Amino acid sequence: MPTLVILMILAGAAFGFWSAGRAAAERAEVVGRNACEAAGVQWLDQTVHVTAIRLCRGGDGWLGWERTFRFDYSRDGEDRHVGRLVLRGDRLVNFIGPVSRLETPPPT
């Protein structure tokens, strides 16, 4: 009987970890898509890929997961660039990716 209880606890923890990972991936997709749209670039592959996960302490002092995601984008449809974003829970803490192009002033 105790073995069944332990298995149920482990299964519940695994499901919770998987569910939180899916929620973070969906949040990362929204952030990546919106950043590409704002910068006027093409978001490639329509997906993000988790590249790292680590345990970290949040601003409230509780332990949580920090997930790093990677996505690809293109400026002209022929090139390919890599963007990265880091989520701590569902909060964006770091972003490297497309920025909107600023027009350069004419030479003087």
What is the pLDDT tens value at each position of the chain, 108 positions in all?
A: 689 999 999 999 999 999 999 999 999 999 999 989 989 999 998 889 999 999 998 878 889 999 999 999 998 888 899 999 999 988 899 999 887 665 455 555
Distances (CA, A) of 20 to 5, 34, 57, 68, 92: 23, 21, 16, 14, 15
Q: For residue 53, tell me if it sits in a domain.
A: yes
**CA atoms of 42 and 104, how far apart (whole Å):** 22
Q: For residue 50, tell me if it sits in a domain.
A: yes
Other beta carbons within 10 Å of 95? 15
Count Cα neighbours of 83 within 13 Å in the Cβ-side half-sphere: 29
Q: For residue 108, tell me if it sits in a domain.
A: no
Within 1-102, where are the H helices? 2-39
- Per the structure, the count of domains in the chain is 1
Range of the domain at 35: 2-96
Q: For residue 28, tell me if it sits in a domain.
A: yes
Q: For residue 101, tell me if it sits in a domain.
A: no
Q: For residue 104, tell me if it sits in a domain.
A: no
**CA atoms of 2 and 59, how far apart (whole Å):** 37
Q: For residue 102, tell me if it sits in a domain.
A: no
Q: What is the pLDDT of residue 46?
A: 87
Q: What is the pLDDT of residue 90?
A: 83
Q: What is the pLDDT of residue 101?
A: 62
Q: For residue 88, tell me if it sits in a domain.
A: yes
